[in-house]
Amino acid sequence: MAERKRPMSNTIEGAADMLRNAKMQLLPPEPLTEAELVIFRHIVAARETASWTTYDLRLACSLARTERRYNEMSAIIDEQGYTTINDRGTRVANPIVTMMKDIRATANMVGRQLGLSATQRGLNTAEQGKRNAADGAARKVLARAKEEAEDDLI
């Protein structure tokens, strides 16, 4: 019979591991801007904290930068529109739209490498779904406790 690599979450040891992992804050191994850091935090929250390797964190940094670029280009499209007038006065598709499609394709590829789709995260399996839900619940409990502690200081 195969040996379990992690303690079951319905045990005291498993619950302690889950809380320990939820308290662990994953930091980017590369410098990121403030906007990229916000995106990075959302990305790493999509999986169990203990499942991230250094390589995965580097990919998450790359995905955060890609998402920031996509957001910047979306803002430009909001200003300029999906079409523009070329040198001959003809209305043509804005070239930024093509760039956005390329960036989205890159983001999707990196997301697949990180296993961030619902299927890859195992959300369609009961066991992984329970682990992800428990990890999220532990994070919420810690955030609530931190807020209460800050309120007590005021």
State whether the Cα torsion 95-113-58-122 is positive or negative.
Answer: positive
Residues of the chain short of pLDDT 70, as ranges, are 1-24, 118-125, 128, 153-154
| Beta bridge pairs of residue 84 | 92
Residue 93 has a pLDDT of 94
Residue 4 has a pLDDT of 46
pLDDT tens across 12-27, in order? 666 655 555 555 689 9
For residue 101, report the phi and psi dihedrals to the nearest 5 degrees.
-60, -40
Cβ atoms < 10 Å from Cβ of 73:
17
Specify the amino acid at residue 100: M
Mapping DSSP onto H, E and C, the string for 119-144 reads CCCCCCCHHHHHHHHHHHHHHHHHHH
